[in-house]
Amino acid sequence: MTGHPQSDGDTDRFLLLKRTDMNRSLPCFPPTALLLCLLPLLFVSTVARADELGAEGLDQESAQDIQAGPRALSRAFRLAARQATPSVVTVYSYGQNVESDGQQEAADADTDQPGPTPPPRENVDGDSLQLTGLGSGVIVDPSGLIITNNHVITGAKKVVVQLADETEIEASEVHGDPDSDIAIVRIEREQPFQAAGLADSDRVEIGDWVLAIGSPFRLEATVSAGIISAKNRTLVRIRRGRLLQTDAAINPGNSGGPLVDLDGKAIAISTAIATRSGGYQGIGFAIPINQAKWIADELDHHGRVRRAAIGIVLAELNPKNAKIFKLPVGLGVVAYQVIEGSAADRAGLKPLDVILEFAGERVRKPSTLQEVVERKPVGSTQEVKIYRRGEEIVLTVELATLEDPTLGGEKEAEGEEEKASEEAGTDEDEDAAALEE
């Protein structure tokens, strides 16, 4: 009996303490009701602890994933640079007489001079030649064929190539194409050179990672990273071809160097930057390697670029023009004007015909059609699918030259060559007869 009241008092004191502690959050409940109120709190606390433990595990996994991403990208950059760098060269041009971008790059490089200064060269007369052009290049054939920019070598009396191992070789042959700003330099030695792999630049997409490799400010084999920012850009200085835009750092001396993908294969040739300060500001341009390689092959085999043409003025079917012509947007390329007597005229093309396909390739922009046409052999016959008044028609066209889309100039040139050859043969016969007499 004596213990019972004490027990009740203890219980009352216990409840009082609990009620006092929870006075701000819980009303006064009987013990059973209070226990039921506390159960959800205990459950929430247990779940929260479980979530906390689970979160710790997830955080550890996430941290590993986060670390794995940059490490994998860093490894990809490292391997790509290691693959491509041995094929990248520095191009020194001497004795240029005209002001060019290449000379400006040499002047910019001279201003800061962090790299080694190349020694003056002498021409065949023994006169000293000063460095007037500086750029980069990439070996694309083991025989020693190098692609660089035309503005790097234009007007040079001597061109010297420095390989990745610092070996210097004087160029035996140099050709350039101002319209595309592509040039080739050929060097020779007994053992083959290490050539870069070439990717398919038509498959490049915006957002792809790329590395720019070159010799900015004479710092050989400098690598910078970025992405493809845009495609199909055009510049006034480069009249033929579409460019890739990148934010990979391109500086004076990078011109002519390769833009490579994460496989270490060249996808473009660095050529220009957009800047208001004279230095890199995050916008660079590069010539797609498919275009550069075609031009290089033309220069290598013919010493010039033979571009085909059919003799039409083109118009794009953008929303404005499509509304005017009452045609679907992007249907094809409008032959806005057909030059009289041109290859297109002889094939039967008429003004306002819409060219859908050329040589089996779908075309929707004038730049695409221009690129497809000019790469086909001059004098070859190609099929053209057109849309005319609701009907698709296939025509056949014989390609002319860009200089003379009527093919007249080409035939006249051939005739003059034959006539000159015949006259030379007649003169030789007369000289031989005179000697016999």
Catalytic residues: 151, 181, 255
How far is residue 210's CA from residue 228's CA, in Å, rounded to a whole number? 7
User: Phi then psi for 351, rounded to 5 degrees?
Assistant: -55, 140
How far is residue 302's CA from residue 28's CA, in Å, rounded to a whole number? 101
Q: Give residue 143's region: left, alpha or beta (phi > 0; psi -120 to 50).
A: alpha
Residue 278 sits at the vertex; the CA angle it makes with 272 and 281, to the nearest 5 degrees, is 70
Tokens encoding 174: 């140099």
* 354: nearest Cα among 317, 383, 380: 317
The residue ranges of DSSP E strands in 198-350, in sequence order, are: 209-214, 222-233, 243-246, 258-260, 266-273, 284-288, 308-309, 312-316, 333-338
How many angstroms separate the first and last alpha carbons of the chain? Answer: 164
How far is residue 283's CA from residue 29's CA, in Å, rounded to a whole number? 72
The answer to whether 256 and 149 are in contact (CB under 8 A) is yes
- What number of helices (H) and strands (E) belong to the chain? 9, 23
Which residues make Cβ contacts (< 8 Å) with residue 397, sequence separation at least 6? 310, 343, 344, 346, 347, 349, 381, 382, 383, 384
How far is residue 415's CA from residue 15's CA, in Å, rounded to a whole number? 119
H/E run at residue 165: none
H/E run at residue 235: none
Tokens encoding 42: 């205990």
User: Phi then psi for 20, rounded to 5 degrees?
Assistant: -65, -40
How far is residue 400's CA from residue 378's CA, in Å, rounded to a whole number? 6
How far is residue 398's CA from residue 359's CA, in Å, rounded to a whole number? 12
SS3 of 315-379: EECCHHHHHHHCCCCCCCEEEEEECCCCHHHHHCCCCCEEEEEECCEECCCHHHHHHHHHCCCCC
